[in-house]
Structure 1
């Protein structure tokens, strides 16, 4: 009888231990159509969002800074790849305007951008 109780206890512990982690990771995984906000950074460039370099923005005739994207709401259009715990996504403006007058979509390392605060999830 003791063996049966011990077996049931072990089975229930392993079952609950295996089910908790996927629930947490599924809540943090991006989905196509999720809305995010681009947050301002403390330094002059974004490390995990692949915006064009400032000299390229200036050559295209715009002001060479990233202030125009601070606070912009963006939508995830495509999940590019998911490897090694890092997820790369393709984002574009929610209102279908273009970034800096010439870029429609940009790639972002979703995992690192959320962790560093460059991107913020919008809660409905």
Structure 2
């Protein structure tokens, strides 16, 4: 089952690997991003995705997807998004009668972003870029 988490201008698609109790990341979208779409392999190398939507990052190849700690290392400025994913993971595997996480963006007054847009994907992580 795929899960969808949005925090600020970013959305991540992820799944729970049962048995391993791990979070595997499928994709990341920066809704205001201008960076060309690309696929990030498990070794950190990057392959351009021709005609892909700007701001889209796909992860892994085949059935191989990075886990949350790996993606957190590649995109450390998106810590709020990764914390929200982790909280939603715990809500899925051990639900409470209320959500575990309410991000700072959820309580921001109209027009204020309180830094919720921090961590642009325009600043790519260090990686080798490949074209296909």
More helix by share: 1
How does the TM-score come out when normalised to structure 2? 0.28
Larger Rg: 1
